[in-house]
Amino acid sequence: MTKNSSNIMALAPNTSNKRETVCIFGTGDFGRALGQKMIQSGYPVVFGSRSLRTSSLIPKEAEVLSHAEAAQKAAIIIMAIQRQHYDFLTPLAEILRGKVLVDVSNNLKINQYPESNAEYLAQLVPGAKVVKAFNTVSAWALQSGTLDASRQVFVCGDDMEAKQMVMDIVRALGLTPLDQGSLLAAQEIENYPLQLFPMWKFPIFLSLGLTAFFFFYCLIRDVIYSYVYENKDFSFFLAISIPNRICPVVALILLGLVYLPGVLAAIVQLYRGTKYRRFPDWLDKWMLCRKQLGLVALAFAFLHVFYTLIIPVRYYVRWRTEDRIISKALNNKTDPFNNTNGWLSDSYLALGILGFFFFVLLGITSLPSVSNSVNWREFRFVQSKLGYLTLILCTAHTLVYGGKRFLSPSSYRWYLPNIYMLSLIVPCIVLVLKFVLIFPCLDKQLTQIRQGWERNPRYSEQSNYIINKSAV
Amino acid sequence: MTKNSSNIMALAPNTSNKRETVCIFGTGDFGRALGQKMIQSGYPVVFGSRSLRTSSLIPKEAEVLSHAEAAQKAAIIIMAIQRQHYDFLTPLAEILRGKVLVDVSNNLKINQYPESNAEYLAQLVPGAKVVKAFNTVSAWALQSGTLDASRQVFVCGDDMEAKQMVMDIVRALGLTPLDQGSLLAAQEIENYPLQLFPMWKFPIFLSLGLTAFFFFYCLIRDVIYSYVYENKDFSFFLAISIPNRICPVVALILLGLVYLPGVLAAIVQLYRGTKYRRFPDWLDKWMLCRKQLGLVALAFAFLHVFYTLIIPVRYYVRWRTEDRIISKALNNKTDPFNNTNGWLSDSYLALGILGFFFFVLLGITSLPSVSNSVNWREFRFVQSKLGYLTLILCTAHTLVYGGKRFLSPSSYRWYLPNIYMLSLIVPCIVLVLKFVLIFPCLDKQLTQIRQGWERNPRYSEQSNYIINKSAV
Amino acid sequence: MTKNSSNIMALAPNTSNKRETVCIFGTGDFGRALGQKMIQSGYPVVFGSRSLRTSSLIPKEAEVLSHAEAAQKAAIIIMAIQRQHYDFLTPLAEILRGKVLVDVSNNLKINQYPESNAEYLAQLVPGAKVVKAFNTVSAWALQSGTLDASRQVFVCGDDMEAKQMVMDIVRALGLTPLDQGSLLAAQEIENYPLQLFPMWKFPIFLSLGLTAFFFFYCLIRDVIYSYVYENKDFSFFLAISIPNRICPVVALILLGLVYLPGVLAAIVQLYRGTKYRRFPDWLDKWMLCRKQLGLVALAFAFLHVFYTLIIPVRYYVRWRTEDRIISKALNNKTDPFNNTNGWLSDSYLALGILGFFFFVLLGITSLPSVSNSVNWREFRFVQSKLGYLTLILCTAHTLVYGGKRFLSPSSYRWYLPNIYMLSLIVPCIVLVLKFVLIFPCLDKQLTQIRQGWERNPRYSEQSNYIINKSAV
């Protein structure tokens, strides 16, 4: 529902049964926007301000007082000021005793200070109950009412009751509070709005690295080789031909890397004979970014599909076709239809289309709203069964594409194999390992281990601390 | 927000104003994971355990006691044990009197026992208030914090207050409780995590059945016929040509079946002269799976689009084009441009693209997060108006594709018509019926009936029970 | 979870600790459906009815009494009757004193009455606490349990406590209450279900207007010109060729219009030297519909992509290719490969594919569930950085497509330039202005202004009222 001007009148002064007064320290953008929103939701608001210079911008329903006076009027005080100015609170310590102080501040850099702003505030005013909240919401979003980015408000604090009071306000403003535990979580909450796709970094850098490597590989094999030996200028291959070789290769390798850690984890569990030991750190991290890896792979597959479909429109392809037909016509020569080629060509295209179809399906089910509406068994079915089907189809697509060329010496220029051969290594390893793991003898033991059975129960004692950590 | 190791310290022991103690019976995976999560959210946790063997894996902030001792410490007891072991509770009946028992158990099969686990528990411990909850959440999801599959926790129970207490805990853990009514709903809640896309079964089996039928139909018409009469091997048609005939046909039939039940329902209502009588069971079920039917149809349309776009890349198509051009060039023969063919070819392609475009639009609006952000009128507009537009465009696409071939005898091999003709039956029936229904005289009466008017009010008396049932 | 017949029994009569009784005035479809749903969630329900004629359809767990008797049994009374019949409440004024009256009514037209139904109700029964709620939910959605359209229930009212009571019921029914402030918001809430994509109107009408203009433009340039001067019938261009010229042009112009208001806003802020003054109305409205403009542009880009990919399948294109090759073969003439053309053709196709890829990415991140799961910085990064990248790629795609033809006189028929030249105006203006704005001297000042700095602080006083309005 769009907030239009009629809403300003909705802040009727005659509302009975008012909610409890909230005090806001600071009359900057965020303080004012939050105050306005609270007034709209029925909270009486008092601003505590150093000066009265900017007071004309403050919502007229709110009172503006000195810090000390304002603090006395409310049980909850929202600190809409920057960490550098927290010092002025020290003289107010007595007035703030027992009050709920809500730290809404953000920093400019991740881990800018040794302790979080909220913990620093708790040290400055030891008698107050400090709650961290609202830092993920922007003043602009509060004002415009278009909370597109996020309705989630992370809340943490040591005092349960204070936290509950703040979470009630969050809910009343139409936002969703998420309890993150004690004040020690504040550091993480303060870092959150500064993050830029932290889970995507590894998949994106990996894919860019692979892209760069294969780009130079293809440059040497396809452009420089042709220039050196055949004196032909194929530099325009850089626009479509080479990207269309790189994209499927990177997509297939990334898709293989999505399923490799699961297979490795199963091997580790089988070898150890227990599931109650933590995986090595790299394996843990790898498993956590599988979804992102898969979506980056899908992006490359998407590009590959459109680069392939555009082929017949390209000038080079049209010229080559025309040239070949004319020279054949002039030489009075026709090729008979080769049934094997018909089969190979149609099969690899069909496998590719089916692989892309299931890949898109996987991508759709990883949308938050879709994955929220399926149960656990359904989610596992799609991500595991359909995922392996996609991997098999895409690997088969590449194998059939290679066809008879794997052994042909002309595919090896300067002893460099064609890059689609390199792309097959990872997915083939995954598929072979997975095939071995579904042998009844191994599969049965793995199922037992995953249900809690231990080959060597003494491990559980020594791994206590490790489990506790990984269980969080 | 990713839960990293800093969170473990967030379980600060110095949190004041603690929440009420929760007792967990059972120290298996799920009990431990739930306990850990609760401690993190500020609940003191006591484990009740038969033995102390596995105690080393239990979060160190929790106490482990005997069942009887643990139960006495808390008002809420979570039963993280399997149904087979519920017997041990009988001697504890006195201690459990008045306590809230939360049944979190799941079965291995749908309807495994005559009564639900929660009802069985309520029979065993008649003095306790049994609430069913948490069974849709997995231990792994609780541990890893990645609640991708679902944040929804179904809750049911006969005691309102007990249910409210459990729902508060659910909310405190960052999950979304959904009240499902009294304990009689437990059976359904226990079956829920065992379901595998129940609403998708009919659409998928129907589409697979249609696919199989049309596959053999095409095999006979296109491959075997050519082999018998023309001695040509078109077996490679199995990869792309035949799938690309089946996909559009199945998509169009399924799309027709999405709109057929709505039309039938209108006819039933017009005939009966009232909306206060339940539809036949099959019609009810059919109407409930329209969304799934439509999405399966979209999947087939997607495959059809990519099978069609890939056509010029196929070896067979390139060879045929080349062969035709060369033979024409050698015979010194050129065809003049046929304007009618230009129109027919461009029209059916344009209709297909527009149909696919609106079909994708329908698919996007059926995503849960999109359909949640539109109002009722907008949802109806998209699903009904745009839906019929899609059906009309796709039917017209097929009709124009057929073009002049409908009457040509060469389209009938072994008296079998081309399959696109078969695909037109259902959508044409739907469109004709819909066209009749929007005639003013019928439309006006239908609107009246849907607003509650009854031609024959005596029906309402006898249909009382039926309505009550269907209204649920 | 599907609601099946087992649920009807879940309305067990033996539930202890019942919730508070709710009274419903009116036994129409909506009253009955709401009553049924409430009984299911554990609320005892009393119906207040004028007559007993339709009583047989009422859920049998509910009592049906006269209005006066029913009202006395409950603290909350839901008005499931139409505004025209509110008069009968006047004699009941004494009984309704202090009760919570929930207005659930909707009108047939936007702003049908001078005051909202809820305000009218509050005037009729001055002693009652009127709350507006439930009007966005349909009887059918309540009955079928498939709340596909929306789970959001807008709630407003002057009495905080009454509003809280209603919001608790909303939550208990599994719906999401959204507090919209005092009863003055009721008008807007009543208009909401009658709206049909209000934010989409401007973008869609604009794009249809542009489409119509460019259609006639192309008709004149491509069909009529050819007919007049070359006597060729290119009328079949209307199906694909002309739409495929219009779509990219409209898409590019709309994409430019998405980024133009942001650039204009920056210029306005730089000129005024403050951010504390409201933008002109048209700029405000334009900025609010940028997302919709972008998605309409994406729809046109989607059509352009598929119209382009289908090119080689078209009869006209195949005939032209064939004709050209045959005439070349007969004339014994071959063209040498033109490297520049190879580069130009491949570059513009590659730029187009990359532009479309990033455009689709932007579209995916604007899905509500995706944009809800990123933080503010990430959302800005995608919508701003990736958005400009898309605009640059698409503009470059068009520029390279034009290539050497910009200066060729043959592109100007009847002095009309080709339409892709017209499409470049808006995006080029945006890109040039943006390029100027990121010059360090301007960028630094703009950043300061956006952080609250004012060149001329006296403005803040006089613009007080304006800010208050725009902040809502």
Q: What is the pLDDT, as a whole number, of residue B284?
A: 87
Q: Which of residues 284-343 of A touch C (CB under 8 A)?
A: 299, 302-303, 306-307, 309-310, 312-316, 318-319, 322-323, 325-327, 329-330
Q: Are strands A129-132 and A152-157 parallel, antiparallel or unpaired?
A: antiparallel
- C-alpha A239/C-alpha A20 separation (Å) is 64
pLDDT tens digits, residue range B27-76?
888 888 888 888 877 789 999 887 755 556 777 788 888 888 889 989 99
* Residue range B338-391, pLDDT digits in tens: 888 889 999 999 999 999 999 999 999 888 888 877 887 888 888 889 999 999
The answer to whether the Cα torsion of B435, B441, B447, B453 is positive or negative is negative
Rounded to an integer, what distance in angstroms lies between the CA atom of residue A366 and that of residue A292?
A: 10
Would you state the torsion angle of the CA atoms of residues B119, B124, B130, B135, taken in this order, to the nearest 10 degrees? -60
Query: Is 90 exceeded by the pLDDT of residue A353?
Result: yes
| Residue B110: predicted pLDDT | 83
Triad A330, A331, A333: Cα angle to 5°: 115
Q: Mark yes or no for CB contact A196/C376 under 8 Å.
A: no
Query: How many Å lie between the alpha carbon of A6 and the closest alpha carbon of chain C?
Result: 7
Instruction: Answer yes or no: do C343 and A197 touch at CB < 8 A.
Output: no
Residues 22-41 of chain A whose Cβ lies under 8 A from any Cβ of chain B: none
pLDDT of C30 over the 70 cut: yes
AA letter at C93: A
Q: How far apart are the CA of C296 and the nearest CA of chain A, in angstroms?
A: 18
- pLDDT tens-digit map of B198-226: 889 999 999 999 999 999 999 998 888 88
Instruction: Answer yes or no: do A306 and C311 touch at CB < 8 A.
Output: no
- Minimum distance, in Å, between the CA of residue C461 and any CA atom of chain B: 39
Question: Do A325 and B322 make contact, defined as CB atoms within 8 angstroms?
Answer: yes
Nearest CB to B316; choose among A276, A345, A356 = A345
The pLDDT tens digits of the residues spanning C152-178 come to 788 888 888 888 889 888 877 877 777
List, as own/partner pairs, every contact residues A444-449 make where C-beta atoms lie below 8 angstroms and the sequence separation is at least 24, other chains included: A445/A270, A446/A266, A446/A269, A446/A270, A449/A269, A449/A270, A449/A273, A449/A274, A449/A275
Q: Between the ranges A1-15, B305-319, C78-92, where is the mean pLDDT highest?
A: B305-319
Give pLDDT tens digits for B229-240.
888 888 888 999
Q: What percent of chain C has pLDDT over 70?
A: 89
Query: What is the least distance, in Å, from the CA of B318 to any CA of chain A?
Result: 9
d(CA B327, CA C368): 57
**What is the predicted pLDDT for the residue at B464?**
38
Enumerate long-range contacts of B349-352, CB under 8 Å, 24 or more apart: B349/C239, B349/C240, B349/C310, B349/C313, B349/C314, B350/C239, B350/C240, B350/C243, B350/C307, B351/B393, B351/B394, B351/B396, B351/B397, B351/B400, B352/B305, B352/B308, B352/B393, B352/B394, B352/B397, B352/B401
**Which residues 171-200 of B are in CB contact (within 8 Å) with C?**
178-185, 187-189, 192, 198-199
Report the amino acid identity of residue C348.
Y
Between strands A100-103 and A76-79, the pairing is: parallel
Taking residues C211-215, what's their average pLDDT? 95
Q: Apex CA C363: angle with CA C360 and CA C369, to 5°?
A: 130
Partner-chain contact B184 C9, CB within 8 Å: yes
The predicted pLDDT at position C118 comes to 92
ipTM of the complex: 0.84
Of A300, A296, A187, A267, the closest CA to residue A442 belongs to A267
Residue B458 has pLDDT above 70, yes or no: no
pLDDT-derived band at A351, boundaries 50, 70, 90: very high
> What is the arithmetic mean of pLDDT over C349-366?
94
Does the structure show a pLDDT above 80 at A280? yes
Task: For residues A126-150, give the mean pLDDT.
Answer: 76
pLDDT band for position B308 (cuts 50, 70, 90): very high
**Mean pLDDT, chain C, as a whole number?**
84
Is residue A56 very low, low, confident or very high in pLDDT (cuts 50, 70, 90)? low
Distance CA B371, CA B295 (A): 14
Q: What is the pTM of this model?
A: 0.86
Closest C-chain CA to B313: C312
Chain C residues 339-358 with CB within 8 Å of chain B: none
Q: Which two tokens stand for residue C427?
A: 């995006």
Q: What is the per-residue pLDDT for C278?
A: 80
Spatial contact of B289 and B202, defined as CB atoms under 8 Å apart? yes
The percent of residues in chain A predicted with pLDDT above 90, rounded, is: 35
Q: Is A55 part of the contact surface with chain C (CB cutoff 8 Å)?
A: no
Compute the half-sphere exposure of residue A410: CA atoms within 13 Å on the CB side of its CA. 4
Task: Select the residue of A288, A337, A357 nearest B302 (Cβ to Cβ).
Answer: A357
Show residues of chain B in contact with C243, CB under 8 Å.
350
Would you say residue B249 has pLDDT above 90?
Answer: yes
For residue B301, pLDDT over 70 is answered with yes
Task: Give pLDDT, residue B245.
Answer: 93
Using pLDDT thresholds of 50, 70 and 90, give the confidence band for residue C464: very low
Whether pLDDT at A470 is above 60: no
For chains A and B, CB pairs below 8 A equal 219
Residue A402: pLDDT band with limits 50, 70, 90 = confident
A61-118 pLDDT, tens digit per residue, is 888 888 888 889 899 999 998 888 888 888 888 889 989 999 998 888 888 888 899 9
Q: In the predicted model, is pLDDT for residue C108 greater than 90? A: no
Residue among A309, A339, A470 minimizing CB distance to B309: A309
Which whole number is the average pLDDT over A315-329? 90
| pLDDT confidence of residue B191 | 87
pLDDT tens, residue by residue, A181-202:
788 888 888 888 888 888 899 9
- pLDDT category at A433 given cuts 50, 70, 90 is very high
Q: Which of A175-179, A369-373, A441-445, B454-458 has the lowest mean pLDDT?
A: B454-458
- CA B41 – CA B10 distance, rounded (Å): 9
**Mean pLDDT computed over B416-442:** 91
Q: For residues C86 and C12, is the Cβ–Cβ distance under 8 A?
A: no
Is residue A178's pLDDT more than 90?
A: no
pLDDT at residue C217 is higher than 80: yes
Residues of chain C with C-beta less than 8 angstroms from the C-beta of A192: 375
Nearest Cα residue in chain A from B147: A372
List the one residue out of B308, B431, B294, B420 whose CA is nearest residue B365. B294
> Which residues of B are less than 8 Å from A178 in CB distance?
174
**Pairwise CB contact (< 8 Å): A350 & B239:** yes
Best residue in B56, B151, B298, B318 for a mutation probing chain A (most A CBs within 10 Å)? B56
Give the pLDDT mean for A267-286. Answer: 87
- Tell me if chain C has a CB within 8 Å of the CB of A472: no
Q: Which three-class secondary structure state does DSSP give residue C373?
A: coil
- Long-range CB contacts (within 8 A, 24+) of B384-390: B386/B358, B386/B361, B386/B362, B387/B258, B387/B259, B387/B294, B387/B362, B388/B259, B388/B434, B389/B358, B390/B255, B390/B355, B390/B358, B390/B359, B390/B362
Inspect the interface and report whether the beta carbons of A353 and B54 lie closer than 8 Å.
Answer: no
Q: Chains meeting C at 3+ CB pairs closer than 8 A?
A: A, B
pLDDT confidence of C466, banded at 50, 70, 90? very low
Tell me the count of A-C CB pairs closer than 8 A.
Answer: 222
Q: How far apart are CA B15 and CA B259, in angstroms?
A: 59
User: pLDDT tens digits, residue range C227-285?
Assistant: 888 888 888 889 999 999 999 999 999 999 999 999 999 999 999 888 777 888 899 88
C-alpha to C-alpha distance for C182 and C169, rounded to whole angstroms:
19
Backbone phi and psi for residue C47, each to the nearest 5 degrees, phi listed first: -95, 135
Q: What percent of chain A has pLDDT over 70?
A: 89
Mean pLDDT across chain B:
84
- Total residues belonging to chain A: 472
> Chain A partners of C371 at a C-beta cutoff of 8 Å?
148-150
Q: Is C174 helix (H, G, I), strand (E, B) or coil?
A: coil
Query: What is d(CA B9, CA B3) in angstroms, rounded to the nearest whole number?
Result: 12
- Identity of the residue in A345, A354, A376 whose CB atom sits nearest the CB atom of B193: A376
Which residues 380-399 of chain B have a CB within 8 Å of chain C?
380-381
Which of B337, B339, B376 is opposite residue C149, by nearest beta carbon? B376
Candidates B332, B349, B460; nearest CB to C54: B460
**Whether pLDDT at B15 is above 50:** no
- In this predicted structure, what is the pLDDT of residue B58? 77
Q: Which residue has the higher pLDDT, C337 or C4?
A: C337
Mean pLDDT of A456-465: 47
pLDDT > 50? residue B279: yes
State how far the Cα of A466 lies from the Cα of A468, in Å rounded to an integer.
5
**pLDDT, position C306:** 95
What share of chain C in percent tops pLDDT 90? 35
Chain C environment of B343 (Cβ under 8 Å): 235-236, 239
Interior angle at CA A448, CA A444 and CA A449, nearest 5: 115
Bigger pLDDT: B341 or C470?
Answer: B341
Quick one: closest CA in B to A277, which residue?
Answer: B57
pLDDT at B252: 96
Check if the beta carbon of residue C95 is closer than 8 Å to that of residue C72: yes
